[in-house]
Copies of this chain bind each other. A is one copy, B any other.
Amino acid sequence: MAVSKAHEFEKDEIKLAELAKALSHPARIAILKKLAKDNVCICGDLVSDLPLAQSTVSQHLKELKRVGLIHGEIEGPKSSYCINPETISQLSGLIDKLFKVFDSCCPPTKPITIKKGK
């Protein structure tokens, strides 16, 4: 990155960027989906699901944990991970806020309700 200037931006922008970065790899999205479906899941299951080496999966888990999207507990030789609903909720809020800005710009895209206005 070289000389990150992240501190020059708004707090929300920085946080959203950080969370978006966590979602910026298909493996991490797949991990989150798997964790969501299974509610709790041990690392080994993820490794056999993904086309990646065990150490790589572990790295992705670490990153997801770092930003708070999941937490993991080491129980014995196995580690079980699960979604952290709080951060998911935070992400949801930040995304909603961003998309509200988009609505102000472009015609609203989703539930098409007729809007008066120029």
The 5 closest A-B pairs by CB, nearest first: A36-B105, A9-B26, A21-B24, A8-B51, A85-B106
Inter-chain contacts of A109 with B (CB < 8 A): 85, 88-89, 92
Contacts of A21 in B (CB 8 A): 20-21, 24
* A104 interface hit (Cβ, 8 Å): yes
Digit string of A1-37 for contact with B (CB within 8 Å is 1, else 0)?
A: 0000110111001101110110111111110110111
Q: Is A76 an interface residue (CB 8 A)?
A: no
The complex places the Cα of A10 from the Cα of B9 at a distance, in Å, of 33
Q: Which of B26, B52, B88 contacts A106 (CB 8 A)?
A: B88
Query: Whole-angstrom distance between the alpha carbons of A104 and B26 in the complex?
Result: 20
Q: Which residues of B contact A26 (CB under 8 A)?
A: 6, 9-10, 13-14, 16-17
Contact assessment for B98 and A33 in the assembled complex, using a CB-CB cutoff below 8 Å:
yes
Query: B37 to A105, Cβ gap below 8 A?
Result: yes
Closest chain-B Cβ to A79's Cβ sits at a distance in Å of 18
